Chains A and B, each alone.
Chain A
Amino acid sequence: MKYPLTIAAIALAALMPPAEAAALRENGDPLDSARWSEMRKAFLAGAPVLFDPRVKVIAPSTAENPMQVPVTVDATALPGVVEVVVFADFNPIVQVLRFFPEAAPAFLGFRVKLQQSTPVRAAARTADGVWHVGGAWVNTVGGGCTAPSAAGGSKEWQQRLNEVSGRQWSEGPNAGRVRLRIVHPMDTGLVAGTPAFFLEEINFTDTAGKRVMRVQTYEPVSENPVFTLNRGEAAGPLEASGRDNNGNAFKARIAQ
Chain B
Amino acid sequence: MKRLACALLMLLASQLGAADFDYRLAAVQVAKDVYAFIGKTEDFTTDNGGNIVNTAFIVAPQGVIVIDTGSSLRYGQQMRRAIATVTAKPIALVINTHHHPDHFLGNQAFADVPIAALAETRNGIAADGNAFAENLFRMSGDWMKGTEVQVPSRTLSPGRLDVAGRSLRLVALDGHTGADLVIDDEASGVIFAGDLVFNGRAPTTPHADVAHWLAALDRLEALTRESGFKLLLPGHGKPTSDAAPIRQTRAWLSWLTAAMRESAKSGLDMNDVLARPLPAEFADMPLAATEYRRSVGHLFPAAEQEALGGKP
Which residues on A are within 8 Å of B, measured CB to CB? 58-60, 62, 64-65, 68, 70-72, 109, 111, 137, 141, 143-148, 151, 160, 163, 165-167, 169, 172-174, 177, 179-181, 183, 226, 228
Contacts and interface: CB of A to CB of B under 8 A. Distances in A.
A70 B307 contact: no
A167 to B, nearest CB: 5
A214 to B, nearest CB: 20
User: What are the 4 A-B residue pairs with the smallest beta carbon separation, nearest first?
Assistant: A165-B310, A174-B267, A70-B270, A148-B131
Nearest to A139: B3
Contact of B310 (A71, A111, A145, A181): A181
A221 to B, nearest CB: 14
Contacts of B139: 143-144
A144 B294 contact: yes
Q: Tell me what chain B mostly uses at the interface: helix, strand, loop, or mixed.
A: helix
Nearest to B291: A144
* B interface residue count range (under 10 / 10 to 19 / 20 to 34 / 35 or more): 35 or more
B132 interface: yes
Interface in B271-300: 271, 274, 290, 293-294, 297-298
A109 B297 CA distance: 15
B138 to A, nearest CB: 7
B271 A109 contact: yes
B142 interface: no
A109 B3 CA distance: 26
B294 A146 contact: yes
B305 A181 contact: yes
Given A58-B271, A143-B138, A64 B294 contact: yes
Contacts of B127: 151
Nearest to B131: A148
B301 A174 contact: no
A233 to B, nearest CB: 16
17 contacts: A64-B293, A68-B297, A70-B269, A109-B269, A109-B270, A137-B3, A144-B43, A144-B290, A145-B204, A146-B297, A146-B298, A160-B311, A165-B309, A165-B311, A167-B309, A179-B269, A179-B308
A167 B268 CA distance: 12
Interface string B77-118: 000000000000000000000001110000000000000000
A160 B305 CA distance: 14
B225 interface: no
Nearest to B290: A144
A177 B266 CA distance: 10
B269 A173 contact: no
B202 to A, nearest CB: 11
